[in-house]
Structure formats: C-alpha cells, structure tokens
Amino acid sequence: MSSTLSDESFQAVVRLFQNISGIRLADSKRSLVEGRLHKLAQHLGVSRLDDYVDRLLDERDPAEIVRVVDKLTTNETYFFREPQHFEFLARLAESHTGSEPFRVWSAASSSGEEAYSIAMLLAEKLGPTGWEVIGTDLSTVMVDTARRAVYPMERARHVPREYLKRHCLRGHGDQEGRLLISRALRQNVHFENANLMEALPSLGIFDVIFLRNVLIYFDNPAKEAIVNRVAPLLKPQGYLFTGHAESLSNLAIQLRSVRSAVYAR
C-alpha cells in the first residue's frame, strides 16, 4: 500500500480540514496526516492514499468526512493540566454565593480529562450538587470517549490522591491500569459536539470558560472570531482561561487581562 500523499492530495486534505475546523495543518503535519489517513484507507480496502483522498472528495460521504476530522483532531491530554488555573478556579468556587449553580464550560474538552478535573475540584469545594460542567469538542470520537469516562492510570499522575479515592474507581482484571470516573461525579458533567468556528449549540451562561490550548492552531482573525463567539456566554465578571502559550493581545475582544492566561468579561 502506498502510504504517502502527493502534494496535490495533501493540500486537498488541508483545505477540506480547514473548511470544516478552521484549523490549517502545517506542512510539518504531513507524516501525521498520512499515518492517520492510512488507517481509514485500510478500513475501506483502498490501497493508495491518493486514491482514498480522490474517493473522499468525489463522494463527499458525510460519515467518512467526520471520520477524517476525528482522526486529525485526536490528541492526548491528562488530568489537572496547567495547575495555576485550578488554583484560581478553587478560589472562585469557594467565594461563590447565590442560588444559581456554578457553571464551567470546557470548550475544547478533547477526551474529557479537563472537564472531569474541573468537576473533581468543584465537588471538593461545593459538594455533590450546586455546580455543572459542560464539555464540548469538534471530534465525535473524543466526545464519545469523554462520555465513557475510562482512562489510563498514567493520565491521572497529577490528580491528588484524595481526589482519586473519592471520585475514581480503579480497574481490575481486563481493566487493570485504567480508572473510571465515579457515577456521582459524571451526573453533573455533560458532553456534546461543538465547532468553535460555527454557531454554538444552546449551552447557557457560565461563571468560567476554559478555552485552553486550542487557539494556538488558529490565525488572529479566527482567534478573534472564536473569542467573540465564546465570551458572550460568560456571566458578568465571569472568567475565560486560555493556554499559557496563547495570547489574546492585539485582538478586538471585550475582555480584559487579569493575570497570566486569565481574562475577565
């Protein structure tokens, strides 16, 4: 099987993916694209990657296009990534007053580790009720993975031991080396598909939005569009968290910087 793409086929995939996701794949991602499309082509019994791309573009099968997008957006993460945000979130939760639930949106939730990290912290600070976490992602595969809530133990290396005891179940037998998020925690965490480059589903408004490690893939006009689509879902004086390698400077947005990678409405 030919596992390489011609320049023409690679650029066709780049354009297709950008039109759907808003993300432009760099030339340096070519081997990653070839590796992930190789598996899809094998599944269909297509021997050449160029032939697979031709078939994809000719037939425009929505299900196959979704599979391509899923493959190209898959990424691995872990629990309690960038802990400074969780320290700040803890203080916000502790100071929360009023009868409205404390709501947090994990806007690029990948396979769910970020959303469940948020949920563990809120359960510790606010108890079993009075809060809600929404996770959204472009990838249907990632959303399904998040809903299953089963993870390799190595991704939990930054989870406090007491959190693991209270909110996770250790796998045994054929699930050895894996963990399951507890049912009590999962009942306040909900996942659905959303493309940040398009109109968002009805999600309500939030005290905090995590928009971390996704803007880095977009150019400034796209970043500005995403932030201005997301920010109105913050409550007055709500907070937006970005990745520490990401900057919103020089963007026309209605947010002000309050600390590193934290913005207020």
- In the residue annotation, 48 being an active-site residue is answered as no
The b-or-e profile of 126-151 (16+ CB within 10 A means b, else e) is beeebbbbbbbbbbebbbebbeebeb
Q: How far, in Å, CA of 91 to CA of 202, rounded?
A: 28
CB within 8 Å of 59: residues ≥ 6 apart: none
Q: Can you read off the two tokens belonging to residue 132?
A: 């809600």
Which residue carries 């912290």 as its tokens? 121
Q: How far, in Å, CA of 55 to CA of 13, rounded?
A: 12
The catalytic position among 67, 137, 207, 212 is 137
- In the residue annotation, 27 being an active-site residue is answered as no
- In 3D, which of 57, 51, 53, 122 has the Cα closest to residue 86? 122
The catalytic position among 36, 55, 166, 229 is 36
Three-class SS of residue 81? coil
Q: How far, in Å, CA of 10 to CA of 57, rounded?
A: 12
- In 3D, which of 237, 235, 238, 259 has the Cα closest to residue 248? 259
The radius of gyration of the chain's CA atoms, rounded to the nearest angstrom, is 20
Active site residues: 36, 137
